[in-house]
């Protein structure tokens, strides 16, 4: 597979890390950050592309748009009409953002791609394609990237992305609050690490709704009031505490 890589952020670096040294040939790297584009191009043994008009690959090539959600449609419109497949990697952007290119696809890895730590095992990826040709291109790309594909039309993909925000982004922020409270109290966060491990082990191995515990679950308003008092110096965390406690109570009132 021949491909162009557009972008220099985390997703672009993940793609370059997985594709470098394989039989797949990079035709060029394009990105606004010239220094970062040059680094990725060197890793992929490919040239840096100065403008999108030069990205005219063969019919069996792929154009990988590893850019921010807001840039996908604009960049797709700047490209010469591709005979190959144009692919973006967003969980929320429509496949139609890749018009006017006839062979379009979405390949969204359900994973938080970090700055330096890339997954070593297969990662699930939701896909949507506009043609059989695009479907074959995504399958080939997935094999090179060690992705495990599943069908994810736009409506389902957006719902799954919402679930991922709750399960990953919001959960991580709550862990950040947890860590900060421990440190402000002078207690090592290592003390609470076994509890956190238990929490995620339970959530992954079973139904998290069935194992909910804590003062909100049991209606312990006295403890909740004490907690809110302890958060007096962090009014934004008080609002988070109250909102989540209200949600827990509402959820289990209907059970």
Same domain for 182 and 134?
Answer: no
Q: pLDDT, tens digit, for every residue of 78-101? A: 999 999 999 999 999 999 999 999
Q: pLDDT, tens digit, for every residue of 10-69? A: 999 999 998 998 899 999 999 999 999 999 999 999 999 989 998 988 889 999 999 999
Mean pLDDT value across residues 152-180: 96
Same domain for 6 and 106?
Answer: yes
Residue where a domain terminates, one of 119, 152, 185 = 152
Give CA–CA dist 147/10, Å, rounded: 17
Same domain for 99 and 191?
Answer: no
**Cβ neighbours of 107 (radius 10 Å):** 24
Same domain for 138 and 228?
Answer: no
pLDDT at 254 over 80: no
Same domain for 104 and 118?
Answer: yes
| One-character DSSP codes across 52-118 | GGG----TT-EEEE-S-HHHHHHHHHHSPPPSSEEEE--SSS-GGGGTT-SSEEEEEESS---SS--
Domain of 213: which CATH number?
1.10.1040.20
pLDDT for residue 176:
96
Give the domain extent around 144: 2-152
Look at residues 87, 62, 84 and name the one whose alpha carbon lies nearest to residue 1: 62
Same domain for 139 and 186?
Answer: no
Same domain for 164 and 239?
Answer: yes
Same domain for 213 and 175?
Answer: yes
Same domain for 229 and 213?
Answer: yes
Backbone angles phi, psi at 118, to 5 degrees: -105, 145
Same domain for 100 and 183?
Answer: no
Report the DSSP pairing between strands 123-129 and 104-109: antiparallel
Residue where a domain terminates, one of 127, 152, 177 = 152
Residue where a domain terminates, one of 152, 182, 212 = 152
Mean pLDDT value across residues 143-167: 95
Burial 128-160 (b: 16+ CB within 10 A, else e): bbbeebbbebbebbbeebebebeebebeebeeb
pLDDT for residue 97:
97
Backbone angles phi, psi at 92, to 5 degrees: -120, -15
Report CA dihedral (230, 240, 115, 158) to the nearest 10 degrees: 170
Q: Considering its fold, how many domains does the chain have in total?
A: 2
Please report, for residues 13, 29, 33, 73, 249, the alpha-carbon distance to residue 69 in angstroms, rounded to integers and kept in the order given: 16, 19, 17, 8, 36
Give CA–CA dist 224/252, Å, rounded: 17
Look at residues 76, 93, 67, 80 and name the one whose alpha carbon lies nearest to residue 6: 67
Same domain for 184 and 108?
Answer: no
Give CA–CA dist 94/107, Å, rounded: 11
pLDDT for residue 58:
86
Q: pLDDT, tens digit, for every residue of 105-144? A: 999 999 988 766 666 678 899 999 999 999 999 999 999 9
Considering the entire predicted model, what is its pTM? 0.90
Domain of 41: which CATH number?
3.40.50.720
Give CA–CA dist 127/154, Å, rounded: 9
Give CA–CA dist 198/170, Å, rounded: 18
pLDDT for residue 119:
67
Same domain for 143 and 163?
Answer: no
């Amino acid at each position: 597979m021949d491909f162009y890589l557009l972008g220099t952020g985390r997703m672009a670096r993940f793609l370059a890390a997985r594709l470098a040294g394989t039989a797949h040939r990079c035709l060029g790297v394009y990105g606004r950050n010239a220094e970062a584009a040059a680094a990725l191009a060197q890793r992929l043994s490919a040239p840096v592309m100065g403008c999108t008009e030069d990205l005219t690959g063969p019919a069996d090539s792929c154009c990988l748009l590893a850019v921010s959600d807001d840039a996908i449609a604009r960049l797709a419109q700047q490209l010469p009409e591709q005979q190959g497949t144009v692919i973006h990697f967003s969980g929320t952007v429509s496949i139609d953002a890749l018009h006017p290119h006839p062979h379009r696809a979405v390949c969204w890895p359900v994973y938080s791609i970090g700055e330096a730590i890339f997954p070593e095992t297969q990662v699930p990826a939701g896909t949507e394609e506009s043609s059989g040709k695009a479907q074959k291109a995504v399958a080939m790309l997935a094999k090179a990237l060690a992705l495990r594909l599943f069908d994810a039309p736009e409506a389902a993909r957006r719902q799954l992305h919402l679930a991922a925000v709750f399960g990953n982004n919001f959960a991580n922020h709550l862990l950040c609050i947890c860590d900060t409270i421990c440190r402000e109290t002078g207690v090592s966060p290592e003390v609470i690490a076994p509890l956190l491990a238990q929490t995620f082990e339970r959530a992954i191995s079973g139904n998290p709704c069935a194992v909910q515990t804590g003062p909100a679950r049991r209606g312990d308003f006295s403890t909740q009031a004490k907690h809110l008092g302890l958060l007096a110096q962090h009014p934004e965390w008080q609002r988070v505490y109250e909102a989540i406690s209200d949600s827990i109570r509402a959820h289990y009132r209907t059970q």
